[in-house]
Amino acid sequence: MITCYAVLHYVGHPFAGWQRQASQRTVQGEIEGVLERLAGQRVVTHAAGRTDAGVHALGQVVSFKIPAKWKPADLHRALNALLPKEIWVAEVGPAPAGFHARRDAASRRYRYVVGCDPASRSPFRHPFEWALGVPLDPQALAEAAAALPGEHDFRAFSAAGQPKRHYRCKILLAQWEARANGEGFIFTIEADRFLHRMVRFLVGTMVDAARGRRPPSDIARLLNSDSNAEASPPAPPQGLYFIGARYPKLGKDLGL
């Protein structure tokens, strides 16, 4: 057996998230089903990040073991021939023995897309962004995001009911940029780890600040809170994309 990685693109709305579930269609279930067919035995995959239902990926990294007869180029072609149309494999490569897409990731990056113009409600756009359809204050967005870089406790921006060993994450990048033609904004965030729904809670709270519903300084204040009760509702999943991860063990970044 050899260890490989694959970089996946997928549309999130047909799936109940990444993680395999007994009674629902998931990305992991589709990938492992095809790999089992090719390997002639059960293949377990590990993803850099477990995306929720409706969340997309432009650089999801997956690791797995496969019989040595499969060369990466041949496996790449076979996967794209057999996977459903909602999933596309951008790259397959060899990895060192023991490589694990989640444990070996030094950081992960996400992108969130917000649509502020009326055309964001177009059927060709709203499945892939938050079709907000109202203007946002770019200065408020920038001020809110400026509080994020560094290491903080993000308990106030995580889903309740899932106890963690700790809630600290180190944010390496957090920035908003305007889209062309007044279409809205894109938020990019990179961290060593993310909590469940953390990016969506952050975006929902920052967007409320940019709509004048709360002060941008609330982000910094909530970083000292031990509850998510005061955070805004999480932004919808269809605007969120897993972009890629950094792997010192491979000597390269994947998907970024």
Distance CA(211)–CA(207), nearest Å, equals 6
Nearest to residue 200, comparing CAs of 160, 240, 227, 167? 240
CA angle, 137 then 139 then 141, to 5°: 75
Catalytic residue among 52, 117, 208, 218: 52
Task: Give per-residue burial for 50-87: e unless 16+ CB within 10 Å, then b.
Answer: bbbebbbbbbbbbbbbbeeebebeebbebbeeebeebb
- Is 52 a residue of the active site? yes
Distance CA(100)–CA(192), nearest Å, equals 15
The residues carrying an active-site annotation are: 52
